[in-house]
Amino acid sequence: MKNVVVISQAETFTVKGLIKKMEEMGVHAGFSCPSLEALEFIGADTELFILMTDDQVDQMRSSLVFLKDQCIDSEKRVLLIATKKEREYVVQYFPEAFLLAWFDRPMDIPAILDTVRRYVDEEQTELRKKSILIVDDDVTYMLTIRDWLSAHYRIAMAASGLQAIQWLAKNSADLILLDYEMPVTTGVQVLEMLKSEVATSRIPVMFLTGKGDKESIMRVLALKPADYLLKSIDQEKLLQKIDEFFRKQKF
């Protein structure tokens, strides 16, 4: 059973009807208004937000940023119900990569329910895949790697070392792809923190690095990661590297 929250300015008859139909599908659904105070009470087990905007969407900037951070931190998704103009405003603050789907108004309830049903089914399949946490301050690069790997692996993302540690406090990963050079907390410092905690000390880490010279590579290898990957690696080679890593793990 998945947790879905419908976010709207008011809990209208239509909203109540949508929630009821999702409950009948076996999906646990609830309601929240879009204020930051209300959104902060949404449970961590929420997997999907259904965001219904209106002509006051320009007052939701802070809420959109909050939802974006939730999607980055916990790999959540948003199903957007909005006019074309409202959608254009939303994607200024909320990357389209995190949108599960977009529906114009008036709402096509059967199509929305079908999208939710398929999302739930796909998430159940995802749970059987190996889990990879990507840690990189470059969100665009993270999204690219996620897109390359998401058909084969369950992907989570963290935009900083702190976010990674916080995510790992509540979740597990079979592999971490860690940016070697990050501001504030470097990849080296993150690795040291991971190794210092019993719960994370055995998670294999592959460093992502933009430097391919011998001296830089030797510095990375001295830290004894599971492997190191140049950021210039292409999709095919990246998949080969990770597939081979997990194959070896079986023996």
Per-chain mean pLDDT for the chain: 87
pLDDT of residue 250: 60
Pairing label, strands 46-52, 28-32: unpaired
pLDDT of residue 128: 61
- Asked if 126 and 103 touch (Cβ cutoff 8 Å), the reply is no
pLDDT of residue 126: 61
pLDDT at 32 over 70: yes
Domains of the chain: 3-125 (3.40.50.2300), 129-249 (3.40.50.2300)
Q: How confident is the model at residue 31 (pLDDT cuts 50, 70, 90)?
A: very high
Q: How far apart are CA 15 and CA 57, in angstroms?
A: 17
Residue range 188-213, pLDDT digits in tens: 888 888 888 888 888 999 999 887 67
Q: How far apart are CA 113 and CA 63, in angstroms?
A: 24
* Exposure on the CB side of residue 202, measured as CA atoms within 13 A: 4
Strand partners for 229: 208
Residue range 129-180, pLDDT digits in tens: 789 999 999 999 999 999 999 888 989 999 999 899 989 988 889 999 999 8
The residue with tokens 């959109």 is: 64
The helix or strand, by DSSP H or E, that contains position 44, with its residue range, turns out to be none
pLDDT of residue 209: 85
- Among residues 180, 197, 171, 192, the alpha carbon closest in space to that of 135 is found at 180
**Amino acid letter, 206:** M
Q: How confident is the model at residue 238 (pLDDT cuts 50, 70, 90)?
A: very high
Residue range 119-133, pLDDT digits in tens: 887 766 665 678 999
pLDDT of residue 119: 87
pLDDT of residue 78: 93
